[in-house]
Structure 1
C-alpha cells in the first residue's frame, strides 16, 4: 500500500485530497501554508506534514495541486524543494495547469534522481472535485500512467492518457482556450440580447436547446453570467489569464497565430484592469457589457 502526499489544499486540492483519504485506503499526508484545510482534512485521517522534506520522506506518490507553474517550480526547486528529497521510489504528479516545456524540463530533472513525473491537469468544477467526478488529462509513460490511474480514480471519473510528459498539459491548455473563447462569445451574446430588448434568460435557455449548447453555457453562462454572480474563492480572472498565456506560449512554440485566444486574453486583461482580478473569471462579461463601439 502506497503512502500519498498531497501539496496544495486550496479550492480544488482540499476535496481531491479528501476523496483520496476516504476512498483509497492509503495513508495520506497533507502540506499547505494555510492551517484551516489541514484541520478539516484531519477529520478524515489526513496527517499534516511539517515540511516538504517530511512529506517526501514518508510518501511514495506526491500530488501537487498548485495555482500555477511558478508555484510548482517553487515547490520543486526551493531550498526545501522536492528535488532535494526525491528518490527512485517516488512518483510526482502535477495536477495543475503548467507550461508544457516547464513540465518536460521538470520530468527530466526528476528522472535524473530516478523518480517518475506525470502532468495530470484537472478539468471541471469545484463541485466535481467535491463529488469525485473530475476529468484528468495525463501526460506520462505507460507504466507510470497505469500506476497512477487507480489513485486518480478516487477523484475523477474521466481519466485520459494523452501521451508522454507534457501531453496532458497540451490538452488541458487547449481545453481552457476553447472554454475561454466560448465564454467571450457568451458574454457578447448576452449583452447584444440585452441591448436588443431580449430577455437574456430566454436567450440562454433557448441556446441550450440548440446547436449553441455547451458546458460553458450551462455552467459559466447560466450560473454566473446570467445572475451576474462572480464569487471569490472560485477560479479567478488572474488564474484564467495565466492559463491563456500558456496557450499563447504554446502557439508561439509551434508557430501558429491564435486571434481568438488573443481576444480572450485581452478581455481577461481588461477585467483585471477593471478590478475584477480576484473574482470568478466569467466576470469578463462585465467588461463586454461596459464596452461601446467607437
Structure 2
C-alpha cells in the first residue's frame, strides 16, 4: 500500500492531522480544501496542493477525509468525487463523525469497485491533534486495520479496532452522547453549587478527587463551565447537535427511547436558538444557570 496519501479537509482538526502525516509517515501528501489559507500553510510543510477532490483521489493510494458532517462527506463522495474516481485497491478513511447508515452505504458502493471504506472517527481536543495524541475508533476488517494502523499512529496514540465497517462510528457517536450528558450533569452541579454557597471551581476540583471524576470534569468543566469561556473555533453547539442526532438515529433503529439524550438535544437546540450555535458546546451551562423551566 505504497504511494502518495490524499487528505481532504484542512479544518481545525484536519490541518494538524495532515501536518503530522507529512512529518511522520514518510509518504508524500496531496491535500485539498476549499479554503486557501490552510492549503498555503500545509504546502509550506511540503504537501502538494490539489485543485479538486478528483485530483486527490486519482493521485493517491489512500485518502483521508476530515470533514464536519455526513453532508460534507456525501458531497465529496458523490458529485464527480470519490465514487467516480476511486481505483481498485484504493482505501478511503473517514476521520469525521458521520451517519452509520451512510458509512455502510458508501463502503458497499466502493466495494463494488474493488476499493475500501474505513470509518476512523477521531476523539480528543485540537491540542491532541497538534500533538499527535488523538484517540481513533476504527471500523474495518482486521486485514485493513493492520494495513492502516501505522499511518493512523502518526497522529494518534490510542487506536482501537471496534469491529467491521460502521463500528467506529457507533463507538464515537456513543462516546459523544455520554460526553454531552456528562457536561449537562456538570453544568447542573455548578448551577446548584453557585446558589448554595459553594464556589464552583472548588466543587469540581473536589469532585475530581472522588467517584465523580472524569475527563469532561477536568476539561469541559474546569476549563469552560467554571470560567464561562465558550470560544468559537472549538467543538460547537451546532456540531454537538449534529452528532447527537446520529445517536438518536441509532437508538431509533434499535427500538430504544433515550430520555437523557433527548434532553441534551433540547438544550443544544435552545442554545443554538439563543445565538450560541458557533460557541463551544458547554455553553449549555449558561442556559442551565439561568434556569430552563
**Does structure 1 retain, via aligned residues, the 8 Å contact 2:134–2:156?**
yes
Shift in Å, 1:292: 5.3
With normalisation by structure 2, the TM-score equals 0.98
**Does structure 1 retain, via aligned residues, the 8 Å contact 2:58–2:87?**
no
With normalisation by structure 1, the TM-score equals 0.98
Aligned residues: 292
- Residue matched to 2:197: 197
Deviations 1:204-249 (A, max 9, x none): 1101111111000011111111111111111110000000000000
Q: What is the CA RMSD across the aligned residues, in angstroms?
A: 0.8
- The separation in 2 between residues aligned to 1:250 and 1:17, in whole angstroms, is 30
1:51 aligns with 2:45: no
Q: Structure 1 residue runs of 4+, over 6 Å off?
A: none
- The separation in 2 between residues aligned to 1:134 and 1:221, in whole angstroms, is 20
- Residue matched to 1:211: 211
- Residue matched to 1:19: 20
Within 5 A, what are the aligned runs for 1:24-173? Answer: 24-78=25-79, 80-173=80-173
- The separation in 2 between residues aligned to 1:83 and 1:215, in whole angstroms, is 39
- The separation in 1 between residues aligned to 2:41 and 2:292, in whole angstroms, is 47
- Residue matched to 2:240: 240
Distance change (3 Å), C-alpha of 1:186 and 1:56: same
1:230 aligns with 2:233: no
Shift in Å, 1:16: 0.3
Deviations 1:91-112 (A, max 9, x none): 0011000111110000000111
Structure 1: any 5+ residue segments left out of the alignment? none
- The separation in 2 between residues aligned to 1:182 and 1:17, in whole angstroms, is 31
Structure 2: any 5+ residue segments left out of the alignment? none
- The separation in 2 between residues aligned to 1:53 and 1:196, in whole angstroms, is 59
Query: Structure 1 stretch 243-252 or stretch 80-89: which is displaced more?
Result: 80-89
Distance change (3 Å), C-alpha of 1:292 and 1:54: closer
